[in-house]
Amino acid sequence: MGRLKKARFHLMKDLGAPALMGLAALKKKKRPVKPKPQFGPLLRSSGRLREIMTRHYLLSRYAEGAKPVAWVTSGAPVEMLRPFDFYTVYPENHGALCGAQKMGAELCSAAEERGYHQDLCSYARIDLGVCFSGKTPVGRLPKPDLLFASNNICQTVMYWFEVLAYHYKIPIIIFDTPYNFEEIKEADIAYMVNQFKDMIPVLERISGKVFREEKFQEIIRIARETSFTWGEVLATMKADPAPMTIFDAFIHLAPVVSLRGLPVALDYYRLLLSELKDRVDKGIGALVHERKRLMWDNIAMWYKVRDFSNLFAEHGMNFVTATYTNAWAETTPHLKEGSPFESMAKAYSLIILNNNLNHRLSLMERLIREFRVDGVVIHSARSCKPYSVGQYDLKRLLMERLGLPSVVIEADIADPRAYSEEQAKTRLEAFFEVME
């Protein structure tokens, strides 16, 4: 049975997936999408991104039984899994996709019917809703052989993945990152390095593959270059006009999260970076008339990305930076091939959500200066408390220090039931008036 599933997976990888995506591409050509008048030309790279992510989810249906499958949290050190050839699925990425496809409320409700509270993370509720109902916009997700989580983004992922471990009766590995109240300590690094070393025999047993140092070093190199190139992509938005919007970046973020450490992600960002640099050289902006430059704080409201993109563009306002998209570039310099465990410990424990609020305030001030930001939109996400705590203080401090206009939108990342159109409209109208 294992050989048959492996053969089927490789058949789909080499022949089936390219054929199906070729047919889909032909249909797309018959329905060309034209940008709205306030926007510049569409990014050509978007087509390649669609191919990559479609292929990823398509092949995931055939991975079960053919390759070891791991479900991974967005902040987990996925480089540890790559040498063992795990097929990785990211429930948070999938939750964002469900939110964008307007399935968030339905899947959250499926979890709530089993007793999970509406105040829990909507990614968690969507994921559990998928497990209970079997519904997903990607057809089917593969049953995992392993759950791989880190608490560097929040504590909820630990309880969420423990529920999944019980549901699927499979092992779970949790990478524990000490919180950075001030500066990272050598004892903290040693503690995390020991965790990496302890993972190896477990991963060897589950995957049936032996850890190879040379392969691991190459994966670290690719992951570092991928994150660094992603940082260069984001840096192109320092140009005036910016060649893309942060709403574009929310979508183009997918490979650096879910395919980090694989050549396909690095190749994609090199392609995207080349296109964006060409736009900058030619003075082509994401908006036809960019009058104001904004920062976004927190995760996207996936069910409102298009609406918000259109709304702000109509006012000549372009989001040119975000704390969220920056997270996958901020700690890149720490990754090093020569000392992979120590460098991963730093890279994964120093991210924005595992740091104190002073670090976050300093980061926001730096981004505001570098990207010449005129105003800030803060998304206070009901179900993402670690990202939303302290936002009103941050808003006040930014006003006191920089005199920067800002607005708080209270909503959720993937559950539209937490969003009030009237409340948001009132707050945004006042913000637009101040920004004029």
SS (H, E, C) 162-179: HHHHHHHCCCEEEECCCC
Cis peptide before 142 (omega within 30 of 0): no
Tens digit of pLDDT for each residue in 409-422? 999 999 999 999 99
Average pLDDT over residues 261-276: 98
The answer on pLDDT for 308 being more than 80 is yes
pLDDT of residue 2: 72
Spatial CB neighbours of 247, under 8 Å, sequence gap ≥ 6: 300, 305, 306, 308, 309, 319
Residue with tokens 């995390």: 192
The answer on pLDDT for 36 being more than 80 is no
The answer on pLDDT for 1 being more than 50 is no
Task: Calculate the alpha carbon distances from 351 to 17, 96, 183, 257, 320 in Å.
Answer: 35, 20, 12, 14, 20
Least reliable range by pLDDT among 45-59, 285-299, 329-343: 329-343
Q: What is the distance between the terminal CA atoms of the chain, rounded to a whole angstrom?
A: 65
Among 351, 335, 342, residue whose Cα is nearest residue 73: 351
Average pLDDT over residues 106-127: 96
For the CA atoms of 348, 55, 219, 83, what is the dihedral angle to 10 degrees? 100
d(CA 147, CA 84): 14
d(CA 145, CA 171): 7
3-class DSSP state of 84: helix
Q: How would residue 28 be classed by pLDDT, with cut points 50, 70 and 90? A: low
The average confidence (pLDDT) of the chain is: 93
Contact 78, 199 (CB under 8 A): no
Average pLDDT over residues 83-89: 97
Contact 295, 321 (CB under 8 A): yes
Tokens encoding 207: 């995957």
Among 87, 94, 93, 123, residue whose Cα is nearest residue 108: 123
The answer on pLDDT for 249 being more than 80 is yes
Name the residue with higher pLDDT: 180 or 33.
180
pLDDT of residue 291: 96
pLDDT of residue 29: 57
Chain-centroid distance, C-alpha 306: 17
DSSP 67: B
The answer on pLDDT for 351 being more than 90 is yes
Tokens encoding 83: 């040498």
pLDDT of residue 31: 59
Spatial CB neighbours of 300, under 8 Å, sequence gap ≥ 6: 96, 247, 250, 324, 379, 413
Average pLDDT over residues 378-394: 93
DSSP 372: T
d(CA 436, CA 427): 15
The answer on pLDDT for 27 being more than 60 is no
Spatial CB neighbours of 117, under 8 Å, sequence gap ≥ 6: none
The answer on pLDDT for 8 being more than 80 is no
d(CA 102, CA 429): 25
